[in-house]
Amino acid sequence: MTIRTLTHFVGGEHIEGTSGNFADVFNPSTGDVQARVPIASKEEVAEAIAVAEAAQPAWGATNPQRRARVLMRFLELIARDTDELARMISIEHGKTFEDAKGDIQRGVEVIEFALGAPHLLKGEYTTAAGTGIDVYSMRQPLGVVASITPFNFPAMIPLWKMGPALAAGNAVILKPSERDPSVPLRLGELLIEAGLPAGVCNVVNGGKDAVDALLNDDRIKAIGFVGSTPIAQYIYETAAANGKRAQCFGGAKNHMIVMPDADLDQVADALIGAGYGSAGERCMAISVAVPVGQQTAEALSAKLAQRVSELKVGPALDPLSDYGPVVTAEAKERVESYIQAGIDEGATLIADGRGYVVPGHEQGFYLGPTLFDNVTKDMKIYREEIFGPVLAILRAESYDEALALASDHEYGNGVAIFTRDGDTARDFTARVNVGMVGVNVPIPVPIAYYTFGGWKKSGFGDLNQHGTDAFRFYTKTKTVTSRWPSGIKEGASFVMPTM
């Protein structure tokens, strides 16, 4: 098998890495190394920033409608190449082909929203704010911004970051995950094909040195990040200390509250999809089911046990696979350690995903679906994000107890409630201390013209991803107070201006 050597993408060209450091890119379905990706030095990052800084002024001065036309053409190219991009995701990340197409589609929807930049960038105007005085505001690009994106959505999150940033007139440095960098590199190529000027969007692969270089360079005006909570907090704090805007999203522990009046067949199907889809490697995955009342818990546990036993785990490109492998051997080992922790702490193991073997793919990074019952809130498997195909059932005696579980957890990304009672649902959505809420919707990822963001340790920063918040984040507001001479003679005034 030939192992490819990947590059950076800077100034509209593929640039070989010069640091001498590389990371392996695996095919999780087989366990084979399929590529080597260069890990940029601080000097390489600085060179990419210089290219972006040189390209940004002309792009920022381009009419917003013309910038939107470039993104419109970009969408056409993504549509043309969707199958190719999805296959690239599957063989580097491990999610199924259909799931990979969903990854792309959710990113495309944000680009579609960003086409409205001519309207979204409009300011405000007030005539006669004072005698002969007009006041107006304008939104202007920040300059060069950086996006640090995770392995679990190699298309969606880069598109969420790049679309609004580029539409607003910024230049972008994208640092994708080194685990699955091929799609971000390909997106850079497609932007050039769509007519984006060279240097306006650059893809630089790297690790902590590259991240620190972005954080410490004064030319970078804003940082967007999605990943684990400790790194999100580190990036947010470092960016703030360096005077940069930061928008950082971390981990999650998403609950699904199941009321006694819920349709349990619908609930079981929702939990199977939301808990095990993409091998649980989603920040919006449901990892905790909270049935209210023992009767509800017993019935739900039995239904989940049956459905889990029917799941098919296999290669990412096998159309019969419900989900594929996790991304690396290290990820597999980490999830297995959590399963053992759950056993050691006394949770009831209904289904054990360890030791799962796919014939013909024995070296792949596979985990079968794992299901725990009788989990308690002091257990590690409840407190921490596992990021794998592990679902925990934590039983609650009452609605208020279930509400408190989701509200009091240190993570506050997403939550769902399944019920047929409108009053309960309305009360829950108003009171729960979580950023994104689903009512009979298991994965409450907002549509592109609303914003995406969690609370508490799931999100750091004042503005969320996509929607109008994205344009607020990637622009600065300038306010002008204007008066033209009208023949009035005035002396100097030493009083603070008022209306």
The catalytic residue among 283, 289, 308, 443 is 283
How far is Cα 61 from Cα 220, in angstroms, rounded to an integer?
19
Q: What is the pLDDT of residue 19?
A: 96
Q: Which CATH superfamily is domain 4-250 in?
A: Aldehyde Dehydrogenase; Chain A, domain 1 (3.40.605.10)
Q: At 282, list the tokens.
A: 């989603």
Note the pLDDT of residue 487.
63
What pLDDT sits at residue 486? 74
Q: pLDDT in tens for each of the 499 residues of the chain?
A: 799 999 999 999 999 999 999 999 999 999 999 999 999 999 999 999 999 999 999 999 999 999 999 999 999 999 999 999 999 999 999 999 999 999 999 999 999 999 999 999 999 999 998 888 999 999 999 999 999 999 999 999 999 999 999 999 999 999 999 999 999 999 999 999 999 999 999 999 999 999 999 999 999 999 999 999 999 999 999 999 999 999 999 999 999 999 999 999 999 999 999 999 999 999 999 999 999 999 999 999 999 999 999 999 999 999 999 999 999 999 999 999 999 999 999 999 999 999 999 999 999 999 999 999 999 999 999 999 999 999 999 999 999 999 999 999 999 999 999 999 999 999 999 999 999 999 999 999 999 999 999 999 999 999 999 999 999 999 999 999 999 887 666 677 778 877 6
d(CA 330, CA 337): 11
What are the extents of the domains in the chain? 4-250, 254-439
283 is catalytic: yes
- Cα pseudo-dihedral 264, 267, 273, 276, rounded to 10: -80
Total-model pTM: 0.94
| pLDDT at residue 499, rounded to an integer | 66
Question: Which three-class secondary structure state does DSSP give residue 482?
Answer: strand
Strand boundaries in 198-244, DSSP class E: 201-203, 220-226
- Phi, psi dihedral angles at 155 (to 5 degrees): -105, -50
| Tally of residues, the chain | 499
438, 444 contact by CB (below 8 A):
yes
- Backbone φ and ψ of 397, nearest 5°: -80, -25
CATH superfamily of 254-439: Aldehyde Dehydrogenase; Chain A, domain 2 (3.40.309.10)
- What tokens does 359 get? 């014939």
